[in-house]
Chain A
Amino acid sequence: MHKITYIFLSVVLTVFVLALTVVTVIKSNQLSDMELKYENSLKASLRQATNDMRTVENDISKLMVTVNEYSRVQLLSKIKEKSASCARELSRLPIVATGVQNTLKFSNQISAYCDSTLIKYSDGEGLPENFDEQLIQFFSTCKMVNSELDLVEADVMNDHLLLLQVGDESISDGIFGSIDNDTVEYPSVIFDGPFSDGQARTTPKTEREEITLDQAKSKVQALGFNMEYKYEMNGVVPSYVFENENSTLEITKKGGLLLMLMSDRQVLEARLTDDEALDIACEFVERLNLGEFKSVWQEYYGNTVVFNLVPIKNNVVIYPDMLKVKVALDNGQVLSFEGKSYIMNSRERQTEQAEITKKEAEQKLKQGFLIEKSRLALISVNEREHLAWEFFGSYNNMKYVVYISAVDGKEKTCFRILNTETGEMVG
């Protein structure tokens, strides 16, 4: 190659390399800028969490002394919101998840407890049992958490601690370990509602006899499955697990009920009608000998349909005892079954009578609500069951389902019916 060409190429390449070096240096500075922005947003989250927990402590102290109902409702709403916000902000900090669980749980439980109390209050049930004692527990725990949070915040605000570094397990155990594990003692919180430490949520409502493995094997055969026993599984619902090449099935150790069937394949076309698929789902559920079930919702995706089936007893739709069956629309294969709701909730219930007639319940609906159909239903709201009149209808060209208590005529809950790509869904 000519000397001039070499010189020319060398100059061009040198300039190019220099330019790339400059770009890299600039990018490195940008990364530092990004780290700074991230650190600032983490500081904001910590500040917010600390502020929220201080507000919660203060508002709980007011709640301990107020007797005015309006003030109580206001304070409960604010404590509910602030403790949920505290949990949210804490979960944004780069603490290893195991290093902040107790504090998150405490914040979430306060929020859920206030929510549950507000619901009882609006139902006219008054304050929960041991309300005053619970507030004292919450207050003293908040004080401890706030003392520790103050120390962490002081370190952060004085630049003795970079929150960016806290993700490192050894550091977060040291810094937040005192809040989450060492110094603060978190109380057990039991109430009607989610996040309660009570056992009711994790125990099936019907006590059932334990079956042997051989009995479980017989059940699997009787259901028409050719599967091999694999292992026992502990958990919320202990079970025997069976498998074949394509499917997994669980039989509960107590009661020998079908807990779960799962298989999957791509279903490329839909040849069956909805009614044909529903017949298949109902026939499958009949083999379980659980009584009569009816489909209340269906969800379509990937040429499959999931039927949500519930029992109907004395003309009442029992939503908490729901089963789910997924059917492939090409050949009608039952791909999956899910029975946990039924197993957890089903029981002999004392028949509650409707004290409010359908006509009386209709009067409680919003004026202008156009009713399409109605029936009696047992629904679960905040983990408590209610007998209610179920009204499907529309308002302002939007579809809803509204539940009016059949006992006291109060509205229990309502859902909007949304048209999604997978079918009508409640939300």
Chain B
Amino acid sequence: MKKTVTALLIITLLFVSASAATYTLGSRGEEVKKLQQALNDNGYPVAVDGIYGVNTKNAVMEFQRNNGLKVDGIAGSETLKKLNIKSEGTVTDSDIYLLAKCVYGEARGEVYLGKVAVAAVILNRVDDPSFPNSVSGVIYQPGAFDAVSDGQINLSPDEECIRAARDAFGGWDPTNGCLYYYNPRTATNKWMLSKEVTLTVGNHSFCR
């Protein structure tokens, strides 16, 4: 009987923890860093270390208190929405921002050149008649980018990705006109793998 109750308790806790994406005491990672940066930007100083500790929780609670939110120290959807993430160069042009989101989803681990290269491929496709004629059309073309298929495009881009998107819009194209890129370690598409590679930057090979 005791074992059954304990097992049910564990299952219940798993369901509860899996059902909502929030940041709370003990959370860690890049998204926590963004939350901490946003708290700093809003006047709630806290170390940006990616660890949701007591100080971060207290800062969140103070923010919630001052903004008419439920004061529970849990950064859920309402709290995250209230926090405006300010950056040194706020991007209001929606195409640039969308491009930056795609770059973040596809190439956030790459060096700057690799980020600009990914952005340039997207813009090269806009200029090519074989692809949709808009940034959103190219990015959201079904199956075109893994970051769209798996939802990573919905993450907020960092400043480097926004700069990379701006540079690509400004005409910088390290790929010299490429329309495709793939990860040579994971790609299986024979048609793609048969194309001549123009350059390789980090994990991506670019081809036209």
Question: Residues on A close to B: CB < 8 A?
Answer: 1, 6, 9-10, 13-14, 16-17, 20, 84, 87-88, 91-98, 101-102, 104-105, 108-109, 112, 167, 169, 194-195, 202, 231, 233-239, 241, 248, 250, 260, 262-264, 266, 299, 301-303, 306, 324, 326, 336, 338, 340-341, 420-422
Question: Distance (Å) between the CB of B180 and the closest chain A CB?
Answer: 9
Which of B1-25 touch A at CB < 8 Å? 1-2, 4-5, 8-9, 11-12, 15
Partner of A17, one of B8, B196, B198: B8
CA of A101 to CA of B180 in the docked complex: distance in angstroms?
A: 13
Question: Distance (Å) between the CB of B38 and the closest chain A CB?
Answer: 18
A93, B191: Cβ atoms under 8 Å? no
Which of B85-107 touch A at CB < 8 Å? 88-90, 92-93
Partner of B176, one of A20, A102, A239: A239
| Further 6 A-B residue pairs, CB within 8 A, beyond A95-B143, A97-B144 | A17-B8, A88-B133, A93-B142, A94-B142, A237-B176, A326-B170
Partner of B175, one of A109, A195, A235, A326: A235
Within 8 Å CB of A112, what residues of B?
Answer: 129
Question: Residues on B close to A: CB < 8 A?
Answer: 1-2, 4-5, 8-9, 11-12, 15, 88-90, 92-93, 112-113, 116, 127-133, 137, 141-144, 159-160, 163-164, 166-167, 170-178, 189, 191-192, 196, 198-199, 208
Main secondary structure of the interface of B (DSSP, over half): loop
B112, A264: Cβ atoms under 8 Å? yes
Within 8 Å CB of B159, what residues of A?
Answer: 266, 302
CA of A13 to CA of B164 in the docked complex: distance in angstroms?
A: 51
Question: Distance (Å) between the CB of A293 and the closest chain B CB?
Answer: 16
Within 8 Å CB of B92, what residues of A?
Answer: 420-421
B174, A260: Cβ atoms under 8 Å? yes
B170, A264: Cβ atoms under 8 Å? no
**Total A-B pairs, Cβ < 8 A:** 136
Within 8 Å CB of A97, what residues of B?
Answer: 131, 141, 143-144
Within 8 Å CB of A195, what residues of B?
Answer: 128-129
Q: Which of B12, B112, B130 has the most CB of A within 10 A?
A: B130
A91, B141: Cβ atoms under 8 Å? yes
B142, A105: Cβ atoms under 8 Å? no
Within 8 Å CB of A299, what residues of B?
Answer: 170
Within 8 Å CB of B130, what residues of A?
Answer: 101-102, 104-105, 108
Within 8 Å CB of B11, what residues of A?
Answer: 17
B176, A233: Cβ atoms under 8 Å? yes
A6, B1: Cβ atoms under 8 Å? yes
A9, B5: Cβ atoms under 8 Å? yes
Question: Distance (Å) between the CB of B201 and the closest chain A CB?
Answer: 9
Within 8 Å CB of B8, what residues of A?
Answer: 10, 13-14, 17
CA of A248 to CA of B167 in the docked complex: distance in angstroms?
A: 14
A235, B189: Cβ atoms under 8 Å? no
Known pairs A17-B11, A20-B15, A97-B143; A262 contacts B112 (CB<8 A)? yes
